[in-house]
Structures are given as structure tokens and as C-alpha cells.
Amino acid sequence: MKIAGEKIIRLMVGYFLYGVGIVMSVNAGLGLSPWGVFSQGMSVQLGMTLGTAVMASGAVILIFDILLGERIGWGTVGNVYFIGTFIDLIDASGFIPVFDSIFLRLLQVILSLAVVSMATYLYLSAQMGSGPRDGLMVALTKRTGKPVGLIRTIIETAALIAGYLMGGIVGWGTLIMSLGIGPCIQFTFKVFKFDVRQVTHRTIDQDIALLLKNKEQ
């Protein structure tokens, strides 16, 4: 129970930090992150909040994860719901500042990369299932054998293009985040000696099978 509790805390802190990082990039006003552009494009097309769009896009990407053979954990389901919820709550709270200074806005973009990278490490290392977007990163890394930084950069670039075509806002901050997110995550993983290729997530089907087995006994 203690280990399970620690993992849940790690997951929730990761989700919260992910929400913080996304709102930081939005408030910087220099263009959204690639997935932010994608989600904003969805919000423009479907008339929903950014957080709701993040949830909706996460659900769609989850389908691709399943098709690529990624097994789904409780953390995956939590990712779809909680990150979008935190984005709307953090945005409504107003505790992430909006700066006039271009220097501070640029610094905010750079810091958002560090926050999102830390968030990614936290909830992936809980080993309770990748988020939909990171599940896609993990699946493609395993299948191709390429560095996680390269795979992440390719995915982010594809999301950026699709989001822009749907009406998402692109700026200089978007360029920084598109090129910087992959190396930043790779650096964070290296600092914590975390190899994403060796991650074994606890999946929902395993828990259900264990529950049924215990019930039979």
C-alpha cells in the first residue's frame, strides 16, 4: 500500500506539473508548445476549453497507442483526465503570471520545457502506464531503436503542423519548444538515470487478471 501510495503521489505531481508547464507556455504569449497548438486547434474547431481539448486529443491518441501495441495502465487513463483538468484549474486560478517583458516571456517558455520534462519523468517512472502522448513516444522508441529525443522531436513537429492547420497559434516560442523538448526530456532522463526502453508498466489488464485470480481463490 505504501508503494502504491507513493506511485499515485508521483503520478499526480507529474500531472500537475504538466498542467503548469502548458499554462506557462500559453501565458508567455510567444506561441504554444506543439501539443498546445494541436489542442488549441481542436478547441478552435470544436468550441471547447483548452483543457477539454487536451482530454479529447489524449483520448484519440490513446487509440493509436493501442494499435501500436502499448498496454494501458491506470496512469494512462489518469493522464487523459487529470492533465486537462489541471490546465483549466491552473488557468482559472491565475497563479501563473503574464509578463510584458519579452525577456521574462522568453524565460517562461524555457522554464516550461524544464517543468514538462520533469513532469514526464515523474509519471513515467511511476510505471503505472504512459500518458497517451508519451505512450506514443515509448512505442515508437521501442519499435525504431532511435534515441528518445529524436522520436519526441518528430512527434512534436507532426502535432505542431496538424494544430497549425486547425487554427492553433504558432510563434517563436513554438519553435523553441519544438526543437527543445526532445533534448530537454532526454537530458532529464539522463540526470535521473532513467532508461525509458526498460520501463515495465503495470497495466489494467494485469490488475483485472490478478483480481479475478484472487476472487477464485
- Per-residue pLDDT tens digits for 99-116: 999 999 999 999 999 999
Q: Is the model more confident about 54 or about 134?
A: 54
**HEC assignment per residue over 45-62:** HHCCCHHHHHHHHHHHHH
Which pLDDT score is estimated for 217?
62
Q: Is the pLDDT of residue 3 over 70?
A: no
Which pLDDT score is estimated for 166?
92
Q: Is the pLDDT of residue 90 over 80?
A: yes
Q: Is the pLDDT of residue 207 over 80?
A: no
| Poorest-pLDDT segment among 60-74, 91-105, 197-211 | 197-211
- Per-residue pLDDT tens digits for 137-162: 878 888 888 887 788 778 878 888 89
Q: Is the pLDDT of residue 40 over 70?
A: yes
CA–CA separation, 25 and 1 (whole Å): 36
Which pLDDT score is estimated for 31?
84
Residue pair 117/185 in contact (Cβ under 8 Å)? The answer is yes
What average pLDDT does this structure show over 123-144? 81
Q: What is the DSSP string of the chain?
A: -HHHHHHHHHHHHHHHHHHHHHHHHHHHTS---HHHHHHHHHHHHHT--HHHHHHHHHHHHHHHHHHTTPPP-HHHHHHHHHHHHHHHHHHHHT-S---S-HHHHHHHHHHHHHHHHHHHHHHHHTTS---HHHHHHHHHHHHH---HHHHHHHHHHHHHHHHHHTT----HHHHHHHHHHHHHHHHHHHHTT--GGG-----HHHHHHHHHHHHH-
CA–CA separation, 176 and 158 (whole Å): 15
Residue 43: closest CA among 52, 34, 35? 52
Give me the chain's average pLDDT, please. 85
**50-67 vs 132-144: helix crossing angle, rounded to 10:** 30
